[in-house]
Structure 1
Amino acid sequence: MMTFIFEFIGTAMLILIGNGIVANLVLKGTKGSDSGWTGISLAWGIAVFIGVFISADTSGAHLNPAVTIGLAVAGKFSWSLAPGYIVAQILGAMMGNFLVWLNYKKQYEATEDTGAILATFCTSPAIRSPFWNMVTEIIGAFALVFGVFYIAGGTVGDSPVSLGSLDALPVALLVMGIGFGLGGPTGYAINPARDFGPRLLHAILPIRNKGKSDWGYAWVPIVGPIIGGVLAALVYMLIEIMQ
């Protein structure tokens, strides 16, 4: 039970800090409107560091269904635990964004730009092209999960792959690098829970001028990262077998 709880807490902290910087950047009436893409990428790296550090020694700090599924494909995580982890990650993401909404309640009320409001919850592409948007998400998630395998120091054998608190910084730097290097086309969800949970919350919350939740795009940041995570696991297993 505690593993699920810490997956929930870690993911909630991830989204609270990560989407908090987005809200500070794009909502009307904040003091952080000059943060820009650099601020977003740095903040998401910090968010990952905090989320991983908090939950690593209890749950293994997946915080992401793509990581959970990738580890399970590689035989380094029990498939029986995967559904509970994924539910905890989605609920944690919703809680984190709910706290963002509470923190910026007056700014949400002052903002009329529906796109800006949606951006504080979930991702959207700079140029809408579902196939290529999915390719971007696959590549970003592949880089994340493949990196996690080596940062965690796991092998294809009897030892489980699990992040410890000392791995928080390298994982944070990895996510920061993905943001700077690969994130521009789609906003680098690279995490189905990070996008789906807050998007669902956006649909539920009574936010003035919030517009639609863009469910037509929602499948891309779900399917793309899962494919990327599975591919990362398969490539990692192949490399380890060949060595």
Structure 2
Amino acid sequence: MADAENRSPHWSTYADNTLVHDVCGGIRLIDEFGASDPVDTIALSIAGAEAAEALTEALEDEWALYTPEQVTATASAVLSQLEGTLANLRALKTTVERMEARKETAFTDAARDHLEHMAAAVDFACGFAPGVISALENLPQLVELPADAHEVLTAVAGLLGPDAVFQAVHEPGAYEEDDSGFGCGCQVLITHRGEVWNLHRGDSTWSMTRDSDGDHRPDGSTSFRSWVDLGPSSTTTHPEHLAEEVRLTLAPPT
């Protein structure tokens, strides 16, 4: 695991994100105390393989990344994996040589040649990494994303058209982003097929409730038996992404 001093500057700012920490928690735990036996070693190798497969699936989504900066950060991490692969291929060769020295196996010429040839191929590929990162760093960002949850809601209301009404609960400019996960309290009311839906920022989640599902109390408050949590979670979600999730909730594909 790359420590703070060795992390790429392109993805170091994300490395201590809560979700990143949760996803990498098991790997970091083994890294902190050291792999003590083959079970730990194999677990690390499988975790890396599963992460690579999951990343491939994630990148197939239209909204996998929003900005060139995020593309560069992801590419930098992927290329760091490539460098790690090279180091691991060389380490595997050394591991077999240790086993051979203990007379636990014998290194065949075929196995040695395949490892060396693969390492040479990966080493050659690593040479292109600086050029890839440089090219991605220079991609222009042509869209300015919202700075906070309030701006996201405002933009989504505009994207959803006349059936969506933005309702503010604070004076313009009075909202300051905090870390509560509940946004600014504003909401977007959407009328669809005679039903009124409420889009708002919930507990670190973008959620929708339908008015007819609510229990309306005499004091004016409403509690809901059910709601829909939308896919994106960030307070700076791309408005088009969130608007697409809203449309799918209102009219799911048949």
In terms of fraction of residues, the more helix-rich structure is 1
Larger CA Rg, structure 1 vs 2: 2
In terms of fraction of residues, the more strand-rich structure is 2
TM-score after normalising by structure 1: 0.26
TM-score after normalising by structure 2: 0.25
